[in-house]
A and B are shown apart, each in its own frame.
Chain A
Amino acid sequence: MKDKMTIFTKGIIKENPVLVLLLGMCPTLAVTTSAINGLGMGLSVIVVLTCSNIVISLLKKAIPGKVRVPGYIVVIAGFVTVVQLLLKAYLPELDESLGLFIPLIVVNCIILGRAEMFASKNPIVDSMLDGLGMGIGFTMALGLIGLIREFFGAGTAFGIQLGTEITPMGIFMLAPGGFFVLAMIIALINWLSKGRAIKKKEIGCDVCPMIGTCSGICEKEEAGA
Protein backbone atom coordinates (compact mmCIF):
# COMPACT_ATOMS: atom_id res chain seq x y z
CA MET A 1 0.00 0.00 0.00
CA LYS A 2 2.84 2.34 0.89
CA ASP A 3 4.45 1.63 -2.51
CA LYS A 4 1.25 2.61 -4.25
CA MET A 5 1.13 5.88 -2.32
CA THR A 6 4.73 6.68 -3.35
CA ILE A 7 3.90 5.99 -7.00
CA PHE A 8 0.98 8.38 -6.71
CA THR A 9 2.66 11.17 -4.75
CA LYS A 10 6.06 11.25 -6.45
CA GLY A 11 4.64 13.00 -9.51
CA ILE A 12 3.11 15.76 -7.43
CA ILE A 13 6.21 17.24 -5.82
CA LYS A 14 9.30 15.03 -5.77
CA GLU A 15 9.27 14.27 -9.49
CA ASN A 16 6.97 17.03 -10.62
CA PRO A 17 7.05 16.73 -14.42
CA VAL A 18 7.25 20.47 -15.03
CA LEU A 19 9.21 21.86 -12.11
CA VAL A 20 11.64 19.01 -11.45
CA LEU A 21 11.83 16.83 -14.56
CA LEU A 22 11.40 19.87 -16.85
CA LEU A 23 9.18 17.98 -19.29
CA GLY A 24 6.35 19.51 -21.31
CA MET A 25 7.88 23.00 -21.41
CA CYS A 26 6.00 23.94 -24.57
CA PRO A 27 2.43 23.92 -23.18
CA THR A 28 3.75 25.16 -19.84
CA LEU A 29 5.07 28.37 -21.33
CA ALA A 30 2.43 28.86 -23.98
CA VAL A 31 -0.92 28.37 -22.28
CA THR A 32 -0.27 29.72 -18.79
CA THR A 33 -1.45 33.26 -19.49
CA SER A 34 -4.26 32.70 -16.99
CA ALA A 35 -4.97 30.33 -14.12
CA ILE A 36 -8.06 28.93 -15.88
CA ASN A 37 -6.07 28.14 -19.02
CA GLY A 38 -3.36 26.45 -16.99
CA LEU A 39 -5.83 24.34 -15.03
CA GLY A 40 -7.83 23.50 -18.18
CA MET A 41 -4.71 22.29 -19.92
CA GLY A 42 -3.69 20.37 -16.81
CA LEU A 43 -7.08 18.63 -16.48
CA SER A 44 -7.00 17.60 -20.13
CA VAL A 45 -3.56 16.13 -19.59
CA ILE A 46 -4.69 14.26 -16.45
CA VAL A 47 -7.46 12.57 -18.43
CA VAL A 48 -5.27 11.70 -21.40
CA LEU A 49 -2.32 10.61 -19.28
CA THR A 50 -4.32 8.36 -16.95
CA CYS A 51 -6.33 6.73 -19.75
CA SER A 52 -3.34 6.21 -22.01
CA ASN A 53 -1.28 4.80 -19.14
CA ILE A 54 -4.03 2.26 -18.38
CA VAL A 55 -4.44 1.19 -22.00
CA ILE A 56 -0.73 1.01 -22.70
CA SER A 57 -0.19 -0.99 -19.54
CA LEU A 58 -2.88 -3.42 -20.75
CA LEU A 59 -1.36 -3.63 -24.22
CA LYS A 60 2.28 -3.83 -23.15
CA LYS A 61 2.55 -7.49 -24.18
CA ALA A 62 0.59 -7.01 -27.39
CA ILE A 63 2.63 -4.13 -28.84
CA PRO A 64 5.85 -5.33 -30.53
CA GLY A 65 8.95 -3.58 -29.21
CA LYS A 66 10.05 -2.19 -32.56
CA VAL A 67 6.84 -0.26 -33.26
CA ARG A 68 6.00 0.63 -29.68
CA VAL A 69 6.34 4.43 -30.06
CA PRO A 70 3.90 4.66 -33.00
CA GLY A 71 1.66 2.30 -31.04
CA TYR A 72 1.70 4.57 -28.00
CA ILE A 73 1.08 7.64 -30.16
CA VAL A 74 -2.02 6.02 -31.69
CA VAL A 75 -3.43 5.29 -28.23
CA ILE A 76 -2.61 8.80 -26.95
CA ALA A 77 -4.01 10.46 -30.09
CA GLY A 78 -7.26 8.56 -29.60
CA PHE A 79 -7.74 9.91 -26.10
CA VAL A 80 -6.68 13.43 -27.13
CA THR A 81 -9.37 13.39 -29.82
CA VAL A 82 -11.96 12.35 -27.23
CA VAL A 83 -10.88 15.15 -24.88
CA GLN A 84 -10.86 17.73 -27.65
CA LEU A 85 -14.35 16.82 -28.84
CA LEU A 86 -15.62 16.95 -25.24
CA LEU A 87 -14.05 20.38 -24.75
CA LYS A 88 -15.53 21.64 -28.01
CA ALA A 89 -18.97 20.44 -26.95
CA TYR A 90 -19.05 21.52 -23.31
CA LEU A 91 -16.34 24.17 -22.80
CA PRO A 92 -16.01 25.96 -26.15
CA GLU A 93 -14.39 29.05 -24.57
CA LEU A 94 -11.59 27.04 -23.01
CA ASP A 95 -11.12 25.15 -26.27
CA GLU A 96 -10.80 28.48 -28.06
CA SER A 97 -8.16 29.86 -25.70
CA LEU A 98 -6.09 26.66 -25.60
CA GLY A 99 -6.32 26.38 -29.35
CA LEU A 100 -3.64 24.31 -31.00
CA PHE A 101 -2.22 23.11 -27.70
CA ILE A 102 -4.99 20.55 -27.16
CA PRO A 103 -4.13 18.54 -30.31
CA LEU A 104 -0.48 19.00 -29.41
CA ILE A 105 -1.00 16.97 -26.21
CA VAL A 106 -0.38 14.00 -28.53
CA VAL A 107 3.28 14.86 -28.68
CA ASN A 108 3.52 16.09 -25.08
CA CYS A 109 6.70 14.49 -23.80
CA ILE A 110 5.22 13.86 -20.35
CA ILE A 111 2.60 11.50 -21.73
CA LEU A 112 4.90 9.70 -24.14
CA GLY A 113 7.57 9.65 -21.45
CA ARG A 114 5.31 8.02 -18.85
CA ALA A 115 4.08 5.51 -21.45
CA GLU A 116 7.61 4.54 -22.38
CA MET A 117 9.15 4.60 -18.93
CA PHE A 118 6.37 3.49 -16.64
CA ALA A 119 3.20 2.14 -18.18
CA SER A 120 4.97 -0.25 -20.53
CA LYS A 121 6.72 -1.93 -17.59
CA ASN A 122 4.21 -1.84 -14.75
CA PRO A 123 0.80 -3.32 -13.93
CA ILE A 124 -2.46 -1.47 -14.55
CA VAL A 125 -3.13 -0.06 -11.09
CA ASP A 126 0.39 1.28 -10.70
CA SER A 127 0.26 2.85 -14.17
CA MET A 128 -3.05 4.50 -13.39
CA LEU A 129 -1.73 5.94 -10.12
CA ASP A 130 1.41 7.13 -11.87
CA GLY A 131 -0.65 8.86 -14.56
CA LEU A 132 -2.91 10.49 -11.98
CA GLY A 133 -0.01 11.68 -9.84
CA MET A 134 1.99 13.06 -12.75
CA GLY A 135 -1.14 14.69 -14.16
CA ILE A 136 -1.95 16.35 -10.84
CA GLY A 137 1.63 17.59 -10.54
CA PHE A 138 1.42 19.02 -14.05
CA THR A 139 -1.94 20.67 -13.33
CA MET A 140 -0.73 22.21 -10.09
CA ALA A 141 2.40 23.60 -11.73
CA LEU A 142 0.47 25.06 -14.66
CA GLY A 143 -2.24 26.46 -12.42
CA LEU A 144 0.36 28.12 -10.19
CA ILE A 145 2.30 29.62 -13.10
CA GLY A 146 -0.96 30.74 -14.70
CA LEU A 147 -2.19 32.33 -11.47
CA ILE A 148 1.04 34.27 -10.94
CA ARG A 149 1.17 35.47 -14.54
CA GLU A 150 -2.51 36.42 -14.51
CA PHE A 151 -2.14 38.27 -11.21
CA PHE A 152 0.81 40.40 -12.31
CA GLY A 153 -0.04 40.62 -15.99
CA ALA A 154 -3.77 41.34 -15.91
CA GLY A 155 -4.61 42.12 -12.28
CA THR A 156 -7.11 39.27 -12.08
CA ALA A 157 -7.28 35.85 -10.43
CA PHE A 158 -9.38 33.13 -12.12
CA GLY A 159 -10.90 35.91 -14.20
CA ILE A 160 -12.04 38.00 -11.22
CA GLN A 161 -10.89 41.62 -11.22
CA LEU A 162 -8.88 42.36 -8.08
CA GLY A 163 -8.78 46.14 -8.24
CA THR A 164 -8.22 48.85 -10.79
CA GLU A 165 -5.90 51.32 -9.05
CA ILE A 166 -2.67 49.75 -10.27
CA THR A 167 -1.81 49.17 -13.92
CA PRO A 168 -0.83 45.52 -14.40
CA MET A 169 2.55 44.66 -15.94
CA GLY A 170 1.83 43.49 -19.46
CA ILE A 171 5.14 41.72 -19.82
CA PHE A 172 3.93 38.86 -17.60
CA MET A 173 1.40 37.93 -20.28
CA LEU A 174 4.11 37.74 -22.93
CA ALA A 175 6.73 35.06 -23.51
CA PRO A 176 9.45 36.67 -21.31
CA GLY A 177 7.04 36.68 -18.36
CA GLY A 178 6.36 32.96 -18.85
CA PHE A 179 10.06 32.09 -18.83
CA PHE A 180 10.66 34.37 -15.87
CA VAL A 181 7.90 32.96 -13.66
CA LEU A 182 8.83 29.36 -14.52
CA ALA A 183 12.49 30.03 -13.71
CA MET A 184 11.58 31.69 -10.41
CA ILE A 185 9.41 28.76 -9.31
CA ILE A 186 12.09 26.22 -10.25
CA ALA A 187 14.67 28.28 -8.37
CA LEU A 188 12.38 28.45 -5.36
CA ILE A 189 11.84 24.68 -5.36
CA ASN A 190 15.57 24.05 -5.64
CA TRP A 191 16.22 26.49 -2.82
CA LEU A 192 13.57 24.96 -0.56
CA SER A 193 14.84 21.43 -1.21
CA LYS A 194 18.47 22.62 -0.96
CA GLY A 195 19.16 21.31 -4.46
CA ARG A 196 17.91 17.83 -3.65
CA ALA A 197 14.83 18.02 -5.85
CA ILE A 198 16.87 17.42 -8.96
CA LYS A 199 19.22 14.64 -8.08
CA LYS A 200 20.29 11.86 -10.35
CA LYS A 201 19.69 9.05 -7.89
CA GLU A 202 16.10 9.97 -7.21
CA ILE A 203 15.26 10.30 -10.88
CA GLY A 204 17.46 7.52 -12.15
CA CYS A 205 17.41 6.06 -15.63
CA ASP A 206 13.65 5.40 -15.55
CA VAL A 207 12.67 8.89 -16.58
CA CYS A 208 15.58 9.67 -18.88
CA PRO A 209 14.25 10.44 -22.36
CA MET A 210 17.29 8.72 -23.89
CA ILE A 211 16.62 5.40 -22.17
CA GLY A 212 15.47 3.76 -25.40
CA THR A 213 18.75 4.37 -27.17
CA CYS A 214 21.06 4.34 -24.17
CA SER A 215 23.01 1.18 -23.45
CA GLY A 216 23.55 2.20 -19.85
CA ILE A 217 27.32 1.83 -20.13
CA CYS A 218 28.08 4.89 -18.04
CA GLU A 219 25.70 3.68 -15.34
CA LYS A 220 27.53 0.37 -15.20
CA GLU A 221 30.87 2.10 -15.18
CA GLU A 222 29.77 4.28 -12.31
CA ALA A 223 28.56 1.27 -10.40
CA GLY A 224 31.86 -0.49 -11.09
CA ALA A 225 33.91 2.49 -10.02
Chain B
Amino acid sequence: MIGNMKNKNNLKLIVSASPHLVSGLNTQKIMLYVVIALMPSLVASTWIFGFRAFALTVFCVAACMIFEYIFNLIAKKPQTTKDLSAVVTGILLAFNLPVSLPYWIAAVGCFIAIIIVKQLFGGIGKNIVNPAITARVVLLVSFPAAMTTWQATRFAGDAVSGATPLGMIKEGLEVPSNMDLFLGNVGGSMGEVSALALLIGFAFLLFKKVVSPLIPICYLAVVFFFALAAGEDPLFHIFAGGVMLGALFMATDYVTTPVLPPGQIIFGLGCGFITMVIRIWGAYPEGVSFSILLMNILVPHIDRLCDHIIFKVKTVKKKSRSTKKTVMNNIKEGTK
Protein backbone atom coordinates (compact mmCIF):
# COMPACT_ATOMS: atom_id res chain seq x y z
CA MET B 1 0.00 0.00 0.00
CA ILE B 2 2.74 2.41 1.00
CA GLY B 3 4.70 1.26 -2.01
CA ASN B 4 1.82 2.29 -4.23
CA MET B 5 1.64 5.69 -2.61
CA LYS B 6 5.28 6.32 -3.22
CA ASN B 7 4.92 5.51 -6.87
CA LYS B 8 3.62 8.72 -8.35
CA ASN B 9 2.22 7.08 -11.46
CA ASN B 10 -0.07 4.95 -9.35
CA LEU B 11 -1.89 7.30 -7.03
CA LYS B 12 -4.86 5.18 -6.12
CA LEU B 13 -7.03 5.51 -3.07
CA ILE B 14 -7.06 2.09 -1.50
CA VAL B 15 -9.93 1.35 0.86
CA SER B 16 -9.27 -1.45 3.28
CA ALA B 17 -10.69 -2.72 6.55
CA SER B 18 -9.45 -1.21 9.81
CA PRO B 19 -7.09 -1.04 11.67
CA HIS B 20 -5.29 1.48 9.49
CA LEU B 21 -1.74 1.37 10.67
CA VAL B 22 0.86 3.50 8.99
CA SER B 23 4.29 1.97 9.04
CA GLY B 24 7.51 3.19 7.55
CA LEU B 25 8.27 -0.30 6.28
CA ASN B 26 7.65 -1.40 2.72
CA THR B 27 8.75 -4.37 0.68
CA GLN B 28 11.78 -2.60 -0.69
CA LYS B 29 12.99 -1.54 2.73
CA ILE B 30 12.48 -5.00 4.26
CA MET B 31 14.35 -6.58 1.38
CA LEU B 32 17.14 -4.03 1.82
CA TYR B 33 17.43 -4.98 5.50
CA VAL B 34 17.61 -8.66 4.57
CA VAL B 35 20.32 -7.92 2.02
CA ILE B 36 22.27 -6.02 4.67
CA ALA B 37 21.76 -8.89 7.11
CA LEU B 38 23.21 -11.32 4.56
CA MET B 39 26.35 -9.22 4.03
CA PRO B 40 28.37 -10.62 6.99
CA SER B 41 27.96 -14.11 5.54
CA LEU B 42 29.02 -12.90 2.11
CA VAL B 43 32.14 -11.35 3.61
CA ALA B 44 32.80 -14.53 5.59
CA SER B 45 32.41 -16.84 2.61
CA THR B 46 34.60 -14.61 0.43
CA TRP B 47 37.20 -14.67 3.22
CA ILE B 48 36.90 -18.46 3.57
CA PHE B 49 36.59 -19.57 -0.06
CA GLY B 50 38.23 -16.74 -1.96
CA PHE B 51 37.04 -14.28 -4.58
CA ARG B 52 34.94 -16.77 -6.54
CA ALA B 53 32.38 -16.87 -3.73
CA PHE B 54 31.81 -13.15 -4.19
CA ALA B 55 31.74 -13.44 -7.99
CA LEU B 56 29.23 -16.31 -7.94
CA THR B 57 26.93 -14.40 -5.56
CA VAL B 58 27.03 -11.29 -7.74
CA PHE B 59 26.38 -13.47 -10.78
CA CYS B 60 23.30 -15.05 -9.15
CA VAL B 61 21.93 -11.66 -8.11
CA ALA B 62 22.40 -10.28 -11.62
CA ALA B 63 20.86 -13.37 -13.22
CA CYS B 64 17.80 -13.22 -10.93
CA MET B 65 17.30 -9.51 -11.65
CA ILE B 66 17.63 -10.05 -15.41
CA PHE B 67 15.22 -13.01 -15.43
CA GLU B 68 12.63 -11.05 -13.46
CA TYR B 69 13.04 -8.02 -15.72
CA ILE B 70 12.70 -10.07 -18.90
CA PHE B 71 9.70 -12.01 -17.61
CA ASN B 72 7.86 -8.83 -16.64
CA LEU B 73 8.70 -7.36 -20.02
CA ILE B 74 7.40 -10.36 -21.97
CA ALA B 75 4.34 -10.90 -19.77
CA LYS B 76 3.58 -7.13 -19.89
CA LYS B 77 3.48 -6.87 -16.10
CA PRO B 78 4.64 -3.92 -14.00
CA GLN B 79 8.35 -4.07 -13.30
CA THR B 80 9.01 -5.51 -9.85
CA THR B 81 12.80 -5.58 -9.97
CA LYS B 82 12.99 -2.42 -7.83
CA ASP B 83 11.56 -4.16 -4.75
CA LEU B 84 14.89 -6.00 -4.37
CA SER B 85 13.20 -9.35 -3.72
CA ALA B 86 15.10 -10.83 -6.67
CA VAL B 87 18.35 -9.65 -5.06
CA VAL B 88 17.49 -11.51 -1.85
CA THR B 89 16.56 -14.64 -3.84
CA GLY B 90 19.82 -14.40 -5.76
CA ILE B 91 21.96 -14.06 -2.63
CA LEU B 92 20.13 -16.86 -0.80
CA LEU B 93 20.39 -19.17 -3.81
CA ALA B 94 24.12 -18.44 -4.13
CA PHE B 95 24.57 -19.17 -0.40
CA ASN B 96 23.06 -22.62 -1.03
CA LEU B 97 25.54 -23.52 -3.77
CA PRO B 98 29.05 -24.91 -3.54
CA VAL B 99 31.64 -22.31 -4.47
CA SER B 100 33.07 -24.36 -7.34
CA LEU B 101 29.72 -24.64 -9.17
CA PRO B 102 29.89 -23.74 -12.88
CA TYR B 103 28.23 -20.41 -13.68
CA TRP B 104 25.75 -21.90 -16.14
CA ILE B 105 24.35 -24.28 -13.53
CA ALA B 106 23.90 -21.31 -11.21
CA ALA B 107 22.04 -19.55 -14.05
CA VAL B 108 19.72 -22.56 -14.42
CA GLY B 109 19.06 -22.31 -10.69
CA CYS B 110 18.22 -18.61 -11.00
CA PHE B 111 15.85 -19.39 -13.87
CA ILE B 112 14.03 -22.01 -11.78
CA ALA B 113 13.86 -19.73 -8.73
CA ILE B 114 12.63 -16.60 -10.48
CA ILE B 115 10.69 -17.74 -13.54
CA ILE B 116 9.22 -21.07 -12.49
CA VAL B 117 8.80 -20.80 -8.74
CA LYS B 118 8.11 -17.08 -8.38
CA GLN B 119 6.81 -15.44 -11.55
CA LEU B 120 4.72 -18.30 -12.97
CA PHE B 121 2.83 -18.43 -9.67
CA GLY B 122 2.07 -14.72 -9.85
CA GLY B 123 5.20 -12.89 -8.72
CA ILE B 124 6.24 -11.59 -5.34
CA GLY B 125 3.98 -12.65 -2.48
CA LYS B 126 2.25 -15.38 -4.47
CA ASN B 127 4.86 -18.13 -4.64
CA ILE B 128 3.84 -21.16 -2.60
CA VAL B 129 7.38 -22.36 -1.93
CA ASN B 130 10.65 -20.59 -1.24
CA PRO B 131 12.29 -19.86 -4.65
CA ALA B 132 15.89 -20.23 -3.49
CA ILE B 133 15.23 -23.51 -1.63
CA THR B 134 13.32 -25.00 -4.54
CA ALA B 135 16.03 -24.03 -7.00
CA ARG B 136 18.62 -25.66 -4.76
CA VAL B 137 16.61 -28.88 -4.50
CA VAL B 138 16.08 -29.02 -8.28
CA LEU B 139 19.80 -28.44 -8.88
CA LEU B 140 20.75 -31.04 -6.27
CA VAL B 141 18.54 -33.68 -7.89
CA SER B 142 19.57 -32.68 -11.42
CA PHE B 143 23.31 -32.20 -11.03
CA PRO B 144 24.26 -34.34 -8.03
CA ALA B 145 27.97 -34.41 -8.90
CA ALA B 146 28.46 -30.67 -9.36
CA MET B 147 26.27 -29.81 -6.39
CA THR B 148 28.25 -31.94 -3.96
CA THR B 149 31.78 -31.04 -5.02
CA TRP B 150 32.98 -29.07 -2.04
CA GLN B 151 36.05 -26.92 -2.27
CA ALA B 152 38.38 -26.89 0.71
CA THR B 153 38.69 -23.68 2.70
CA ARG B 154 41.81 -21.60 2.25
CA PHE B 155 42.88 -22.53 5.78
CA ALA B 156 42.91 -26.24 5.00
CA GLY B 157 46.45 -26.33 3.70
CA ASP B 158 47.10 -28.41 0.61
CA ALA B 159 43.72 -30.10 0.43
CA VAL B 160 41.90 -29.43 -2.84
CA SER B 161 38.47 -30.76 -2.00
CA GLY B 162 36.84 -30.67 1.39
CA ALA B 163 33.95 -32.76 2.61
CA THR B 164 31.12 -31.18 4.54
CA PRO B 165 30.98 -31.99 8.26
CA LEU B 166 27.71 -33.88 7.79
CA GLY B 167 29.22 -35.80 4.88
CA MET B 168 32.14 -36.74 7.13
CA ILE B 169 29.70 -38.11 9.72
CA LYS B 170 27.94 -40.23 7.07
CA GLU B 171 31.27 -41.67 6.02
CA GLY B 172 32.41 -42.15 9.62
CA LEU B 173 35.30 -39.68 9.41
CA GLU B 174 36.53 -37.46 12.22
CA VAL B 175 34.53 -34.25 12.34
CA PRO B 176 35.92 -30.73 12.87
CA SER B 177 35.60 -29.01 16.23
CA ASN B 178 32.51 -27.02 17.12
CA MET B 179 34.59 -23.84 17.16
CA ASP B 180 35.61 -24.40 13.53
CA LEU B 181 31.96 -25.00 12.67
CA PHE B 182 30.88 -21.86 14.47
CA LEU B 183 33.42 -19.66 12.69
CA GLY B 184 33.07 -21.39 9.34
CA ASN B 185 36.41 -23.12 8.78
CA VAL B 186 34.73 -26.16 7.14
CA GLY B 187 33.63 -27.30 3.70
CA GLY B 188 30.09 -26.64 2.54
CA SER B 189 27.81 -24.30 0.63
CA MET B 190 28.96 -20.71 0.39
CA GLY B 191 26.62 -19.16 2.93
CA GLU B 192 26.14 -21.99 5.38
CA VAL B 193 29.64 -22.44 6.70
CA SER B 194 29.93 -19.58 9.19
CA ALA B 195 27.27 -19.72 11.87
CA LEU B 196 28.73 -16.61 13.50
CA ALA B 197 28.25 -14.43 10.41
CA LEU B 198 24.67 -15.67 9.96
CA LEU B 199 23.86 -14.92 13.60
CA ILE B 200 25.27 -11.38 13.31
CA GLY B 201 23.05 -10.76 10.29
CA PHE B 202 20.02 -12.23 12.00
CA ALA B 203 20.61 -10.10 15.08
CA PHE B 204 20.40 -7.06 12.81
CA LEU B 205 17.05 -8.25 11.43
CA LEU B 206 15.77 -8.81 14.97
CA PHE B 207 16.97 -5.36 15.98
CA LYS B 208 15.10 -3.85 13.03
CA LYS B 209 12.04 -5.98 13.97
CA VAL B 210 11.81 -7.34 10.44
CA VAL B 211 11.44 -10.97 11.49
CA SER B 212 10.14 -12.78 14.53
CA PRO B 213 12.53 -15.26 16.16
CA LEU B 214 9.76 -17.79 16.74
CA ILE B 215 10.41 -20.10 13.77
CA PRO B 216 14.22 -20.20 14.13
CA ILE B 217 13.95 -20.88 17.87
CA CYS B 218 11.52 -23.77 17.37
CA TYR B 219 13.56 -25.10 14.45
CA LEU B 220 16.89 -25.03 16.31
CA ALA B 221 15.33 -26.34 19.52
CA VAL B 222 13.97 -29.42 17.76
CA VAL B 223 17.33 -30.02 16.07
CA PHE B 224 19.09 -29.64 19.43
CA PHE B 225 16.85 -31.97 21.40
CA PHE B 226 16.46 -34.50 18.58
CA ALA B 227 20.26 -34.78 18.37
CA LEU B 228 20.44 -35.09 22.14
CA ALA B 229 17.86 -37.87 22.10
CA ALA B 230 19.63 -39.64 19.23
CA GLY B 231 22.86 -39.61 21.21
CA GLU B 232 24.74 -37.20 18.93
CA ASP B 233 26.42 -33.90 19.72
CA PRO B 234 23.58 -31.34 19.69
CA LEU B 235 25.84 -28.32 19.15
CA PHE B 236 27.44 -30.03 16.17
CA HIS B 237 24.04 -30.54 14.55
CA ILE B 238 23.10 -26.90 15.07
CA PHE B 239 26.32 -25.44 13.66
CA ALA B 240 26.95 -27.99 10.88
CA GLY B 241 25.35 -27.90 7.47
CA GLY B 242 22.61 -25.53 6.42
CA VAL B 243 20.49 -25.48 9.59
CA MET B 244 21.61 -21.99 10.59
CA LEU B 245 21.13 -20.54 7.11
CA GLY B 246 17.82 -22.37 6.69
CA ALA B 247 16.38 -21.56 10.10
CA LEU B 248 17.46 -17.91 10.18
CA PHE B 249 16.91 -16.81 6.60
CA MET B 250 14.91 -19.39 4.61
CA ALA B 251 12.32 -20.48 7.17
CA THR B 252 11.58 -16.85 8.08
CA ASP B 253 10.46 -15.82 4.59
CA TYR B 254 7.14 -13.96 4.97
CA VAL B 255 5.43 -15.42 1.92
CA THR B 256 5.98 -19.11 2.46
CA THR B 257 5.55 -19.42 6.21
CA PRO B 258 2.41 -19.40 8.39
CA VAL B 259 0.93 -16.04 9.34
CA LEU B 260 0.01 -16.68 12.96
CA PRO B 261 2.36 -17.53 15.85
CA PRO B 262 0.85 -20.99 16.59
CA GLY B 263 1.31 -21.87 12.92
CA GLN B 264 4.87 -20.60 13.00
CA ILE B 265 5.58 -22.88 15.95
CA ILE B 266 4.20 -25.89 14.05
CA PHE B 267 6.22 -24.84 11.00
CA GLY B 268 9.47 -24.55 12.95
CA LEU B 269 8.94 -27.85 14.76
CA GLY B 270 8.13 -29.64 11.49
CA CYS B 271 11.22 -28.26 9.76
CA GLY B 272 13.47 -29.35 12.61
CA PHE B 273 11.93 -32.79 12.79
CA ILE B 274 12.20 -33.51 9.04
CA THR B 275 15.77 -32.17 8.94
CA MET B 276 16.88 -34.49 11.71
CA VAL B 277 15.05 -37.51 10.31
CA ILE B 278 16.84 -37.04 6.98
CA ARG B 279 20.20 -36.39 8.65
CA ILE B 280 20.09 -39.43 10.88
CA TRP B 281 18.24 -42.03 8.81
CA GLY B 282 18.14 -40.61 5.27
CA ALA B 283 20.42 -41.25 2.30
CA TYR B 284 21.35 -37.56 1.96
CA PRO B 285 23.73 -36.15 4.56
CA GLU B 286 21.72 -32.93 4.82
CA GLY B 287 17.95 -32.37 4.90
CA VAL B 288 17.42 -28.67 5.54
CA SER B 289 16.28 -27.73 2.06
CA PHE B 290 13.92 -30.70 1.79
CA SER B 291 12.44 -30.00 5.21
CA ILE B 292 11.72 -26.34 4.45
CA LEU B 293 10.31 -27.21 1.03
CA LEU B 294 7.98 -29.84 2.51
CA MET B 295 6.80 -27.53 5.26
CA ASN B 296 6.27 -24.71 2.71
CA ILE B 297 3.78 -26.95 0.94
CA LEU B 298 1.93 -27.56 4.22
CA VAL B 299 1.64 -23.86 5.07
CA PRO B 300 -1.93 -23.32 3.75
CA HIS B 301 -3.14 -26.25 5.87
CA ILE B 302 -1.26 -25.03 8.95
CA ASP B 303 -2.78 -21.58 8.47
CA ARG B 304 -6.28 -23.04 8.22
CA LEU B 305 -5.66 -25.11 11.34
CA CYS B 306 -4.49 -22.08 13.29
CA ASP B 307 -7.40 -19.83 12.35
CA HIS B 308 -9.47 -21.96 14.68
CA ILE B 309 -6.95 -21.72 17.51
CA ILE B 310 -6.68 -17.95 17.35
CA PHE B 311 -10.29 -16.99 16.84
CA LYS B 312 -11.76 -19.80 18.95
CA VAL B 313 -13.97 -20.91 16.11
CA LYS B 314 -14.98 -24.52 16.49
CA THR B 315 -15.31 -26.65 13.41
CA VAL B 316 -18.82 -26.44 12.01
CA LYS B 317 -20.65 -29.62 12.89
CA LYS B 318 -24.08 -30.87 12.02
CA LYS B 319 -25.52 -29.49 15.23
CA SER B 320 -24.60 -25.91 14.48
CA ARG B 321 -25.88 -26.32 10.96
CA SER B 322 -29.27 -27.38 12.27
CA THR B 323 -29.35 -24.40 14.64
CA LYS B 324 -28.50 -22.20 11.69
CA LYS B 325 -31.39 -23.76 9.82
CA THR B 326 -33.82 -23.07 12.66
CA VAL B 327 -32.61 -19.49 12.82
CA MET B 328 -33.16 -19.18 9.10
CA ASN B 329 -36.62 -20.68 9.45
CA ASN B 330 -37.45 -18.26 12.23
CA ILE B 331 -36.39 -15.38 10.05
CA LYS B 332 -38.46 -16.73 7.18
CA GLU B 333 -41.49 -17.17 9.39
CA GLY B 334 -40.96 -13.68 10.77
CA THR B 335 -41.04 -12.22 7.30
CA LYS B 336 -44.19 -14.13 6.53
Contacts and interface: CB of A to CB of B under 8 A. Distances in A.
B144 interface: yes
Interface residues of A, number: 8
A174 B105 CA distance: 19
Interface stretch (B135-143, B183-191, B314-322, B323-331): B135-143
Contact of A170 (B104, B105, B141): B141
Contacts of B138: 171, 176
B146 interface: yes
Interface residues of B, number: 10
A172 B141 CA distance: 10
Nearest to A170: B142
A169 B109 CA distance: 11
B206 interface: no
B143 A167 contact: yes
Interface centre among A166, A169, A176 (most CB of B within 10 A): A169
A170 B137 CA distance: 12
Contacts of B146: 167
Nearest to A183: B120
Interface string A172-210: 101010000000000000000000000000000000000
A174 B146 CA distance: 18
B124 interface: no
A167 B141 CA distance: 13
Contacts of A166: 104
Contacts of A169: 108, 142-143
Contacts of A167: 105, 143, 145-146
B113 to A, nearest CB: 14
Interface of B: 104-105, 108, 138, 141-146
Given A166-B104, A174-B141, 7 more contacts: A169-B108, A170-B141, A170-B144, A171-B138, A171-B141, A172-B142, A176-B141
Shortest Cβ-Cβ A-B pairs, 5 listed: A169-B142, A171-B142, A171-B141, A170-B142, A171-B138
